[in-house]
Amino acid sequence: MISFSQVTKRYPGGLEALRQVSLTIEAGQMVFITGHSGAGKSTLLKLMAALERPSSGSVVVNGQNVAALRPRAVPFLRRNFGLIFQDQKLLFDRTAFDNVMLPLAITGFERREAVRRVRAALDKVGLLAKEKAYPVRLSGGEQQRLAIARAIVHRPAILLADEPTGNLDAAYAAEIGELFRSFNQVGVTVVIATHDETLAARLKPRLIVLKEGRVAQ
Amino acid sequence: MKAWLWHQLDSLATTLARFGRAPIVTLLNVGVIGIALALPVGLYVALDNLRGVVRTLASDPQLSVFLALDAGPADAAQIEARLKQHAAVREVRYVPRDQALKELKASTGLADVVDSLPSNPLPDAFVVQPRNAAPEALEQLRDEVSGWPKVTHVQLDAAWARRLEAGLKVARLAVWLLATLFAFALVAVTFNTIRLQILTRREEIEVSKLIGATDFFIRRPFLYFGALQGLAGGIAAWAIIWAGLQLLNHGLADLSRLYATQIALRHLSLDDSVSLLLFSAGLGWFGAWLSVDQHLARIEPR
pLDDT in tens, A34-76: 988 888 888 999 999 888 889 999 999 988 898 888 888 999 9
pLDDT given for residue B200 in this prediction: 86
Nearest residue of A to residue B217 by CA position?
A106
Q: Which helix (H) or strand (E) holds A21?
A: strand A16-25
Higher pLDDT among residues B263 and B279, named by residue: B279
Contact, B138 vs B162, CB < 8 A?
no
Quickly list H helices, chain B. Answer: 2-21, 23-58, 73-85, 97-108, 111-116, 135-146, 159-200, 202-210, 215-259, 270-295
Contact yes or no for A79 and B212 at CB 8 A: yes
Shared domain check, B153 and B75: yes
Average pLDDT estimate for B95-115 = 75
In the predicted model, is pLDDT for residue A119 greater than 90?
yes
pLDDT interval class at B94 (50, 70, 90): confident
What is the spatial distance between Cα B292 and Cα B25, in angstroms, rounded to a whole number?
Answer: 19
Asked if pLDDT for residue B256 goes beyond 80, the answer is no
Residue that wins the pLDDT comparison between A67 and B135: A67
Sign of CA dihedral A13, A14, A19, A20: positive
Same-domain status, B192 and B146: no
The residue among B107, B131, B157 that closes a domain is B157
Alpha carbons within 13 A on the beta-carbon side of A130: 18
A109 touches chain B (CB under 8 A): yes
Same domain, B100 and B113: yes
Q: Is the dihedral of CA B212, A155, B10, B32 positive or negative?
A: negative
Q: What's the one-letter identity of residue A23?
A: L
Which of the listed ranges B111-120, B149-158, B173-182 does the model predict with the highest average pLDDT? B173-182
- Which of A111, A115, A159, A162 has the highest number of chain B CBs within 10 A, making it the mutation to test binding with B? A111
Confidence bin at B302 (pLDDT 50/70/90): low
pLDDT score of A190:
94
Lowest-confidence segment of A64-73, B94-103, B187-196, B253-262 by average pLDDT:
B253-262
- Of B157, B179, B211, the last residue of a domain is B157
| Confidence (pTM) | 0.72
pLDDT number for residue B268: 83
The per-residue pLDDT of chain A, averaged, comes to: 89
Length of chain B counted residue by residue: 302
Query: Is the separation of the CB atoms in A89 and A146 below 8 Å?
Result: no
Number of neighbours of residue A15 by Cβ within 10 angstroms: 11
Helix (H) or strand (E) holding A162: strand A158-162
For residue B107, the model assigns a pLDDT of 65
What distance in Å separates residue A71's CA from the closest CA in chain B?
10
For residue A121, the model assigns a pLDDT of 94
Mean pLDDT over each residue of chain B, to the nearest integer? 83
- On whether both B171 and B26 belong to a single domain, the answer is yes
Residue of chain B with shortest Cα separation from A49: B210
Q: Report ipTM (2 d.p.).
A: 0.86
| Residue B210, CB-side half-sphere exposure with 13 Å CA sphere | 24
The enclosing domain of B97 has a CATH number of 3.30.70.3040
Q: Are residues B186 and B67 part of one domain?
A: no
For A191, the 3-state DSSP assignment is: strand
- pLDDT tier for residue B59 given thresholds of 50, 70 and 90: low
